[in-house]
Structure 1
Amino acid sequence: MAMEKVDIIGGGIAGLALAGRLDPGRFDVTVYEQRTELPSVGTTLAMWPEAQQALAELGILGAVRSRGAIIKAGALRRPSGEALLSMEGEGLVGVSRPELLRLLDTAVPATVRRVVQRVDRLPGHSGLSVGADGVNSIVRRDFWGRRSTARPTPFLAVRGVVPGIPSPQDVGEYWGRGQIFGLAPAGGGTNWYASFRSDLGPDKVDVAEALEVTRDRYANHAPAVKELLALASPETSLAQRIWTTPALGRYARRNVVLVGDAAHAMTPNLGRGACEALIDAVTLGGLLNELPTEEALAAFGRKRVMRTQLLRLASSLMGSVALAQGAQPWRDALLKQVGKSVARTRERTGTSK
């Protein structure tokens, strides 16, 4: 039986996961990626239970857990560090993006061809083309039109990793007026991230300049935040504009399908972007292994479009709340009241730590 051709545009999380899930005995797979090598710098990603199941199907969950960090708890805090609402993270695993990409790369069969080049137009053939090329997807632009073009938000994301394990009393997110700062353990170090309104960019952002702006913006935050930013360096940090995609009602057209950020790029406020990219890829790969392509793409849409579009909207809403400016006092008062209610519930049920 002739092999079915699949071209995957993009060798990031979604692209590598799909290449690792497709049956090498049925599919002739090519991955196109413009990077010459995997990145060496990146923030920590929280793997929720469903994403961990996807990693298990790829055969790398054990490796991810051994190289990552268990995320147990944290808190939403004022800039001063005062906890407003404690958060439990049982069952979450944090892994750096570079490490996750390396492990996904090991799951890709040797039969998969790798082509190092930027793809400006899809290869012309009757096989399946998969847009796994991120928020500024060429595939989405060409097949879903100009209205599907990614949109920049007013917010900059600056993030990185520094040495040293953070104190449990400092872990969490610090919500200020129109800005967020977060820190958590990350495999022997501390993962940190900041988000705030900025005119830097929107395309290429100078990391050193962004770090200086970040230090200035968070100069009045808790000592843990200022100490961490003093340790941050351009070599171990990233800075970029946050972009999102508009709503899409379907992820497949003819013999083209979108996965990950190409389909549903969302703000990072729920921490679900990488997880949903993994789930997209493993779900699509499993369906293609079992069903004719047309049926598999239809089933993929039923399973993934509604869920991921709702998460995209929820992330945007959470971002609006977290980065509130004028409503900050009311927001913080509400969070503190919710925190007290949660604490009382834990005391009554005997689940307090």
Structure 2
Amino acid sequence: MKVIIVGGGIGGLTAAVAFHQRGWQVEVLERAPAFTEVGAGLSIQPNGLRALDVLGLGDTLRAGGQAEPLAGVRHASGSWLIRNDTADLKRRFGQWVIVHRADLVALLCSALPGEALRAGVDVRHVGPDGTVAHSGGASTADLVVGADGVRSVTRRSLWPRLRGPRYVGYTTWRLIVAPRPIEGSVETWGEGQRFGHQPMPDGSVYCYLMANAPASSRHGLDHLRERFAGWHDPIPALLADADPETVLQHDTYELPGLPSYVQGRAALLGDAAHAMAPNLGQGACQALEDAVTLAAAVDTRGVRAGLAEYDRVRRPRTQKIVRLSRQAGAPAHWTSGPLTALRDLALPRLPDAFFERSIVPTYTWTP
């Protein structure tokens, strides 16, 4: 049996490893000239690690990149809006890790035969019969997996009339700052903008910033330093130490709920199926879940029945997490002064059960 995977990012490579370990012939088509990931830090939460455990890779990440859960959310002045009991979170759900995206891609590639990886291949059309037209000609397989991101060619080929991704109204910057001591993983909210930081295993600091902005607007590090100059320590110092060459900016999109993730002999996973705002840190974790679930379902049940089972199991869960992620981040992007003042007054007084409605469904998944 053969599977073609369109897209060589984290979700696609995880699917490739899952199918390869089950004895399938694997062909991964990646548009970029090399299999790597341009990006910064990536938090893998307990459910994502359990997905990697299926492939025997979870402990490799645990050994090199253990991290703390989010300690909480602070106001721009430094006062706490939400405090999490990180020890209790780890006791209840398991370990968190943080890794550079490129390192995770390298780990996944190392678990695949070299001939399975085809870089520099631009996919142009995917058919429901298992055919893939691309810049190198055409390929056919028993199964095609579209793991080609929010602008998925696979999705457009198979569902040409479906609505495309929706800009959520804010843009995101990511960067890594040279090693320095910080208090842990913390997010800070203002009016229409926020800043998060998390220590990396080597002592460097992964930072992410989000701000309301028109789509396609672009601003560099000087703008960020000015914008967040009055925020609590260590935010101004982190931005002062940042290298402009490390700053990445991407607009934030989510995908409207699709009526199905499968058609014929093809399936979507990851952002191609359910791109979400990064407010719960679940984008990569859901792609990892997708990948191992798809491989298990198809390999044990056959292509047709396995795809039906994959869609039945994964679509409700991932579309729920898209909604939860949208709701979790919305208050950070309010711009009304009275409304944000009410937010800042109410959040410290809310019971823990209010926040658990979003985190418990994400962390408790098991293969």
TM-score by length of 2: 0.85
2:161 maps to 1:149 = no
Residue 126 (structure 1) shift: 5.8
Residue 156 (structure 1) shift: 0.7
* Structure 1 match to 2:249: 239
* Structure 1 match to 2:33: 36
* Structure 1 match to 2:364: none
Residue 69 (structure 1) shift: 3.2
Instruction: Indicate how the Cα distance of structure 1 residues 116 and 51 shifts in structure 2: closer, same or farther if over 3 A, else same.
Output: same
Higher mean alpha-carbon deviation, 132-141 vs 324-333, is at: 324-333
Instruction: Indicate how the Cα distance of structure 1 residues 334 and 110 shifts in structure 2: closer, same or farther if over 3 A, else same.
Output: same
2-structure distance, mates of 1:249, 1:150: 14
Percent identity, aligned pairs only, is 34
Residue 116 (structure 1) shift: 2.3
* Structure 1 match to 2:209: 194
Structure 1 contact 6–27 (Cα < 8 Å) conserved: yes
Higher mean alpha-carbon deviation, 22-31 vs 233-242, is at: 22-31
Structure 1 contact 156–242 (Cα < 8 Å) conserved: yes
1-structure distance, mates of 2:351, 2:309: 40
* Structure 2 match to 1:351: none
Residue 304 (structure 1) shift: 0.5
Structure 1 contact 162–231 (Cα < 8 Å) conserved: yes
Instruction: Indicate how the Cα distance of structure 1 residues 40 and 234 shifts in structure 2: closer, same or farther if over 3 A, else same.
Output: farther
Secondary structure of 2:8's match?
A: coil
The amino acid across from 1:232 in the alignment is A
1-structure distance, mates of 2:353, 2:51: 35
2:284 maps to 1:249 = no
Structure 1 contact 22–288 (Cα < 8 Å) conserved: no
RMSD: 2.2
Residue 340 (structure 1) shift: 9.5
Secondary structure of 2:220's match?
A: helix
Match of 1:53 among 50, 53, 69: 50
2-structure distance, mates of 1:39, 1:234: 21
* Structure 2 match to 1:346: none
Structure 1 contact 64–103 (Cα < 8 Å) conserved: no
2:311 maps to 1:307 = no
Match of 1:17 among 14, 19, 26: 14
2-structure distance, mates of 1:293, 1:267: 31
The amino acid across from 1:338 in the alignment is L
2-structure distance, mates of 1:96, 1:141: 30
Residue 127 (structure 1) shift: 2.5
Instruction: Indicate how the Cα distance of structure 1 residues 41 and 339 shifts in structure 2: closer, same or farther if over 3 A, else same.
Output: farther
The amino acid across from 1:242 in the alignment is T
* Structure 1 match to 2:234: 224
Structure 1 unaligned regions, length at least 5: 343-353
Structure 2 contact 150–272 (Cα < 8 Å) conserved: yes
2:272 maps to 1:262 = yes
* Structure 2 match to 1:160: 175
Instruction: Indicate how the Cα distance of structure 1 residues 73 and 27 shifts in structure 2: closer, same or farther if over 3 A, else same.
Output: closer
Secondary structure of 1:17's match?
A: helix
* Structure 2 match to 1:114: 118
2-structure distance, mates of 1:121, 1:328: 46
Structure 2 contact 274–322 (Cα < 8 Å) conserved: yes
Instruction: Indicate how the Cα distance of structure 1 residues 232 and 200 shifts in structure 2: closer, same or farther if over 3 A, else same.
Output: farther
How many residue pairs get aligned? The number is 333
Match of 1:334 among 328, 336, 346: 346
Residue 235 (structure 1) shift: 2.4
